[in-house]
Amino acid sequence: MAAPLCIVGLGNPGPTYEGHRHNVGSLVLQQIAQRWHFSFVNKHSFELSIGTLEGRKTLLLRPLTFMNDSGRAVGLCASFYKLSPEEFLVLHDDMDLACGVIKLKQGGSSGGHNGLKSIDTVLGPAYWRLRIGIGHPGHKDLVVPYVLSPFAKAEKDHLVSVFTAIAECLPLFVRGETTLFAQQIQAAGAARPPANATMS
């Protein structure tokens, strides 16, 4: 029997941050939960839902700490369910990718992402990451207000199809068909919103 899989959606807690670019991992996790009828239970420092996909026990984990403390919830989950790093898929925003562009990888550096840095301290680098492009504001001084702002309307319209594709194709990843999973979600992210989109 396959080991359990834990899918982690990164973001900052509370309604203030809910629709921000930095919370795109959490937004995708919510889409997955809705598609496959998972219900979250509050565990103080995180929300957790447990179900079965493709005959494999699957956990959806949403930390309720701020991004730079995401590793706390991941570490607790790894310890309690005896999960190895390879049994985690972390969904997170990535400024190096255009909005809606998706890349799947296993291992590697944090790329300066504070959520991944925190997770690295408890898992090491060998876990899976689903990089979800949010675009870049063009200058490093604009990064913080950019990631802590909502998506433009054109971006939102595009992301609906991207999020849906990730949720629909997830059984491929669960079955270990990672290459096909990556190909199908990358195709969904290929059409990009206008570069001159204005904030809604």
Q: Which of the following is catalytic: 20, 22, 92, 158?
A: 22
Q: Give the per-residue SS3 of 77-95.
A: HHHHHCCCHHHEEEEEEEC
| Catalytic-residue membership of 22 | yes
Long-range contacts (CB closer than 8 Å, 24 or more residues apart) made by 76-80: 76/45, 76/46, 77/6, 77/46, 77/48, 78/6, 78/122, 78/123
Provide φ and ψ at 102, rounded to 5°.
-120, 135
Per the CB < 8 A criterion, the answer to whether 193 and 158 are in contact is yes
Cα 172 to Cα 14, 56, 63, 165, 185: the distances in Å are 31, 12, 25, 11, 11
Point out the residues that are catalytic.
Answer: 22
